[in-house]
Structure 1
């Protein structure tokens, strides 16, 4: 951790979220959960991620960057209930979408997805505080990617030439950081929910995920 004392902060936080559309959400889990079941799980992961985010920072600082269906009822419900901003993800590779969300902040902030339910508010706040000491902060994922990125200032270079969706993402990003001569810290390694083998750990974390609303 980059800080010993952790309290609620107020910092920009972007969440990339795919709409829970049956057949298009959590597709790798469809063979196990079915299309509707995978979509319900996606909806529960979005709700859980937003709940965690709102424990770490003010709702006015949270932006839900939407994909698949920008006007999905869940997105509209969450925006109305919690007064969070909704913005459509731009077209393009993941790196372009991440850069766009971080650039829109106009200041140092964090970006996460909805696939890492083990993230908690304490870790989010600590990661933000890391940006007072480092150019970037990452939470590497066990699968070779990362589940959180924070930057003092965004740069397209950091997100270009990366083989997104592979086990090389974090390694390639570390190499890019060296080329840019940017400092970075890695407070923790996390895991995400992407494949059927991940479900047992998800259910152990919170039984609610077994029977999402």
Structure 2
């Protein structure tokens, strides 16, 4: 398996192991260029903030955190987002359900934007996070809006969408 993005970025995968045997099997099939570490934190925001801080602790300044349920996410979007991080302090990639699939930081502490009073898993997550970033007068790039797959109905909607283009 080859991951094209690894040509221009190092890949880190934060995971939560709920089933040891299944988790170990999954980790063993990952390509060598994917580095892993255990996810930590309680809320979604805390887990995301801790993942970014872990990678920052390894010396990285430009970091993009994405979800793993974004079928439209491409190498091109990641590459373009990294290019914009050279000029912006932060990036967000909105989803059609009001959340976001990507947050990027350029040597920025993500804690104030991810551990604020955000109603996670609601349609206000993107707008709330965007407002928090804007209130700090941070330069922000918005990546293209994409679908994420949280529920079976999301998958069905996405299948209907791509079916229209076949």
TM-score, scaled to structure 1: 0.65
Deviation at 1:95, TM superposition (A): 0.9
Tell me if structure 1 keeps the 8 A contact 2:89–2:139.
yes
Q: 2:47 aligns with which of 81, 86, 97?
A: 97
**SS class of match (1:57):** helix
Deviation at 1:181, TM superposition (A): 1.5
Q: Encode CA deviations 1:117-173: one digit per residue, 9 max, x unaligned.
A: 110101110011110111111110000000011001223111122111111101111
Deviation at 1:174, TM superposition (A): 1.3
Question: CA separation in 1, counterparts of 2:94 and 2:124?
Answer: 11
**SS class of match (2:88):** coil
Q: 2:65 is matched with which residue?
A: 111
TM-score, scaled to structure 2: 0.82
Question: CA separation in 1, counterparts of 2:15 and 2:8?
Answer: 16
Question: CA separation in 1, counterparts of 2:43 and 2:53?
Answer: 16
The runs of 5 or more residues in structure 1 that have no matched partner are 1-49, 207-213
**SS class of match (1:100):** helix
Q: CA RMSD in A?
A: 2.4
Please show how residues 53-92 of structure 1 align to structure 2 within 5 Å: 54-58=3-7, 61-69=10-18, 71=20, 72=23, 73-78=25-30, 81-92=31-42
Cα pair distance change 1:202/1:109, threshold 3 Å: farther
Tell me if structure 2 keeps the 8 A contact 1:59–1:83.
no
Deviation at 1:115, TM superposition (A): 0.8
Structure 2 residue 103 is matched with structure 1 residue 131: no
Cα pair distance change 1:58/1:196, threshold 3 Å: same
The runs of 5 or more residues in structure 2 that have no matched partner are none
Q: 1:141 is matched with which residue?
A: 95
**SS class of match (1:105):** helix
Considering fraction of residues, name the structure with more helix.
Answer: 1
